[in-house]
Structure 1
């Protein structure tokens, strides 16, 4: 690594520290909400595999666009830490505690906020209990709630599969896994969506989530059960109260947001391709291959928060300073022309996508998410004869936030 200065006239163009050259692109706002892929392509053309951007409140960050660069960041926690306590803009007071970035990037006593041995200890408690609940007939719970959601619209011959199915089903399953009530689950689904969207209400909704989960923890102390919450309370790693509460929050928000988004995208792909739809109904096509394709092309998290440079270093031709924030472009990395010059080529059997993150912090709940998707699609297709899209595929729209792009609606018709 050479010793070129990081500030002054020789600073890299667009550096989020020096703000040299053109102002960095905002990853939020009207343009970002409607055309995130266009923004990623333009940034790649202008800056290469790493680009300076601004997050809400015009907080600077580096967006990692290249597949190989994403892998380097994910696989090297010593250079790119998950511990936001080293985030320079936070340490120097440029990020308010009320910022909508705090619920996504702020330090918490959970496994994603730490590296090394603290991370291994806490992650072990999470993975042990996720494995335990996934072995307790979770597909039975998924089937139950899938039928219950479908019952609400099955008699009318039409539905919006986003608002009436994918948006709430994963959270209803998680309520059973956590030991929550169904009413609490619907409120938590709404608040989780607001945390992911950001904006002025993100902190308020995060507080609501913490309040509901705090009440759940107290109930389970008095009345233990065969659920994820009790498992954390009783785990041999000896999690304290803050660690338990923050891991409940972590699993709840990430599992619901990613699974609901993924379910909607899988249904979109199935319903806009007659061959896939007929293949699934007849049993000639495996749903896992459809999920795999969606993981590559429209992963449920478009941008993953966040990593922090532990020293001055080089990445993708740019010089980063210690304490710089990086956000990982999972969608951009998956369609990187350096590894996928033709996105139309089949990726069947190739699971090297970035959708589950990677490295020590790779998503530990993949099997539960996969079970929810597979079961939810199977129940839907066999409950609703003649299921078809009620609008032209080109009429389907999405709205993006900094972190994700969600399908707005998925109107369908079917025989009654």
Structure 2
């Protein structure tokens, strides 16, 4: 299919008050049921309402997601062209602004400004990865395990996956380790949305602003100093906003993916046996997770630069589109049987695609692989302590997080 051609859809001309909400109790319990119903009713693109009943198009089709992600001239990341915000229908204090609002970072811009800022981020992420990210992950994985190793049981979400990535990121950023737990909590609440999102975002920005000021006076071999000293010449506002970007997205993606990888290993004996015996590489596990339960289920957001058609829907200039990464990965048009293994297929949408594809995916994967390796070696006889069917998840508009992962092991 030519990705510039519209596909046939059943999309209505306009959003109505009865459009499906991507927030609330139903969405928190079973977002995949909502995606399936929307696909059946509307096709590859569906009208939805975000928090505050803000209208948006949810892109459900794999090919339609790729079209949006690969064509920034048609679908910009610059929210300054978002019509509902420009017309005052979305308040600056809306929780959506924390995910969709314009910031002086590479995610909010396209073209040359994007290339300049993204270059500073990617250069420093590569430098950080080369300075021993696996060593930091090993250190903190042992620290986390030490706290419960003598108990013979643990919750691998609350006791391990929830905070380990943030502890690594605090070391990478040059932050005090004590900041890690509270920054993880604040990052979760920013992503969750709701009344507390703005307060926790301001808290994160305050900590990162203080860090930037300190590193200008006391530089070190850390990510923050690398941004300050990069030839791209970032100002303080740009530095703080890129620290925020990497902190929130890097933590959220990695902690969520780590929890899901552990869930998969512990609910499928073949994966666990293969890993322990060396017949299976952990990257294969992570790949399956990225197809089946990507760490961001819905990616914010893109804005139409002109009137056009997408998946049969009449998208207007300034309309907001949110990218259904989980829905796209399960699109029956490209994946008719989700029970068939996707091992070796890296064309999932979990890290986005196009010019804005996640630059930190290798860093996250290194943390996950190291954490799981340490865990399996430290905890002999590791097994799930509850029936697999009893495991639950809670979703927000943007993600679905595993609530807990109770395990037992030999002491």
- Short-chain TM bin: over 0.9
How far apart are residue 15 of structure 1 and its match? 2.0
1:13 maps onto 2:8 in alignment: no
Give the CA deviation at 1:190: 0.6
Could you tell me how far 1:14 is from its partner in structure 2? Answer: 5.8
Q: Is residue 267 of structure 1 aligned with residue 272 of structure 2?
A: no
Conserved 8 A contact 1:14-1:52: no
> Using the alignment, how far apart are the partners of 1:209 and 1:288 within structure 2?
32
SS for the counterpart of 1:61 is strand
Q: After superposition, where does 1:154-233 map in structure 2 within 5 Å? A: 154-233=149-228
- Coordinate RMSD, CA, aligned: 1.0
Aligned residues: 402
CA distance in 2, matches of 1:284, 1:310: 49
- Give structure 2 stretches of 5+ with no counterpart: 1-9
Alignment of 1:113-132 (within 5 A): 113-132=108-127
The equivalent of 1:239 in structure 2 is 234
TM-score of the superposition, structure 1-length normalised? Answer: 0.96
Asked if the contact 2:174/2:223 (under 8 Å) is kept, the reply is: yes
Q: For residues 82 and 253 of structure 1, what CA distance do their matches in structure 2 show?
A: 18
1:24 aligns with 2:19: yes
User: How do 1:336-351 residues align onto structure 2 when only pairs under 5 Å count?
Assistant: 336-351=331-346
Separation (CA, whole Å) in 1 of partners of 2:11 and 2:58: 15
| Alpha-carbon offset, residue 345 of structure 1 | 1.1
**Who is 1:8 aligned against?**
none
2:325 counterpart (322, 326, 330): 330
Residue correspondence of structure 1 range 60-71 to structure 2 within 5 A: 60-71=55-66
Q: 4+ residue stretches of structure 1 with deviation over 6 A?
A: none
Give, in angstroms, the shift of residue 12 of structure 1.
5.8
Tell me the SS of whatever aligns to 1:403: coil
TM-score normalised over the length of structure 2? 0.97
Q: Is the counterpart of residue 87 in structure 1 residue 86 in structure 2? A: no
List alignment gaps of at least 5 residues for structure 1: 1-10
1:251 to 231, 246, 256: 246
| 8 Å contact kept, 1:14–1:23 | no
Confirm or deny that 1:363 pairs with 2:358.
yes
The equivalent of 2:94 in structure 1 is 99
Deviation for aligned residue 1:279: 1.1
Task: Write the deviation string for residues 137-192 of structure 1: whole angstroms up to 9, x where unpaired.
Answer: 11000000000000000010010000010000000000010000111111111100
In the alignment, is the contact (CA less than 8 A) between 2:11 and 2:43 conserved in 1? no
Contact 2:13 2:314 in 1 (8 A): no
Contact kept, 8 Å, 2:125 with 2:360, in 1: the verdict is: yes
SS in 2 for 1:182: coil
Which residue in 2 is equivalent to 1:6?
Answer: none
User: Could you tell me whether the CA contact under 8 Å between 1:111 and 1:123 is conserved in 2?
Assistant: yes
Aligned to 1:315: 310
Residues 1:296 and 2:295 are matched in the alignment:
no
Are the counterparts in 2 of residues 14 and 24 from structure 1 also a CA contact under 8 Å?
A: no
Shift of 1:282: 1.5
String of CA shifts for 1:297-340, please: whole Å, max 9, x gaps.
00000000000000000000010110000000000000000001
Check whether the contact 1:167–1:260 (CA below 8 A) recurs between aligned residues. Answer: yes
Within 5 Å, give how 1:398-413 maps onto structure 2: 398-413=393-408
How does 1:68-79 map onto structure 2 within 5 Å? 68-79=63-74
Equivalent-residue separation in structure 1 for 2:345 and 2:227 (angstroms): 34
**How many angstroms does 1:274 deviate by?**
1.1
Secondary structure, in 3 states, of the residue corresponding to 1:351? coil
User: 1:342 & 1:14 partners in 2: Cα distance?
Assistant: 32
